[in-house]
């Protein structure tokens, strides 16, 4: 079994070649624990601080976790894409977030699947469509259809899909659904 250090070193080396000059935000947290949580990609704040889910979506995630008695320190948290996907705003010329593209997802997904083996958590909790599709290795699956249900990934891992916490910020109707899904997750644990 590869160690997390060896894995991260190899990921950094290869990602630096593929995406030169880009800051990387790696996964972090408990190995062999109950939950590995996976987001889409880091945003501006995550890139600045070098940690996953420390910006607005992270604050939302932490509140939801606390509401069901879970703590960030009990988990491993990572993203599918380890660099911040951005484009330049036509108005300000400054970088703004965009969804990860096919090249970014294609490069980082095999690393994510390897990371999941190393992290070896009992449950994988995907946040939104990007990690769901990556872990289930299926483009046709969508979060609207499978959220709050236990799935088994092609490699035999237990996967519990949640909406992305940022989607909940922008859609209040999802808030109640999100709360229910988290309760289901809590009952599973």
Q: Taking a C-beta distance cutoff of 8 angstroms, is the pair 137, 153 a contact?
A: yes
Instruction: Say whether residue 43 binds ligand URA (CB under 6 A).
Output: yes
Instruction: Say whether residue 47 binds ligand URA (CB under 6 A).
Output: no
Q: Which of 183, 11, 37 is nearest to 119 (CA)?
A: 37
Instruction: Say whether residue 161 binds ligand URA (CB under 6 A).
Output: no
Q: Which is nearer to ligand URA, 129 or 153 (CB)?
A: 129
Tokens of 39: 């987001």
Q: Which is nearer to ligand URA, 29 or 43 (CB)?
A: 43
Q: Which of 5, 42, 8, 37 is nearest to 25 (CA)?
A: 42
Q: Which stretch binds ligand URA (CB under 6 A): 46-54, 64-72, 116-124, 147-155?
A: 46-54
Tokens of 188: 């599973």
Residue selected from 27, 39, 100, 161 as contacting ligand URA according to rule CB under 6 A: 39
d(CA 77, CA 37): 5
Binding site for ligand URA (CB under 6 A): 39-43, 46, 52-53, 55, 57-58, 79, 166
């Amino acid at each position: 079994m590869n160690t997390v250090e060896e894995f991260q070193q190899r990921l950094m080396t290869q990602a630096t070649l593929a995406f030169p000059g880009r800051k990387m935000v790696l996964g972090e947290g408990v190995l062999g624990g109950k939950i590995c949580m996976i987001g889409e990609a880091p945003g501006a704040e995550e890139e600045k601080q070098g940690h996953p889910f420390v910006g607005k979506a992270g604050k939302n995630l932490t509140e939801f976790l606390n509401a069901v008695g879970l703590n960030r320190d009990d988990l491993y948290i990572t993203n599918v894409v380890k660099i911040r996907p951005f484009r330049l705003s036509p108005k300000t010329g400054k970088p703004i977030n965009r969804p990860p593209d096919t090249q970014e997802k294609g490069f980082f997904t095999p690393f994510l699947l390897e990371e999941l083996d190393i992290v070896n958590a009992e449950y994988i909790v995907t946040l939104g469509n990007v990690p769901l599709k990556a872990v289930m290795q299926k483009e046709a699956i969508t979060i609207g259809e499978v959220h709050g249900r236990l799935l088994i990934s092609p490699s035999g891992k237990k996967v519990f899909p949640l909406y992305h916490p940022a989607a909940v910020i922008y859609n209040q109707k999802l808030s109640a659904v999100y709360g229910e899904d988290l309760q289901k997750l809590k009952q599973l644990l």
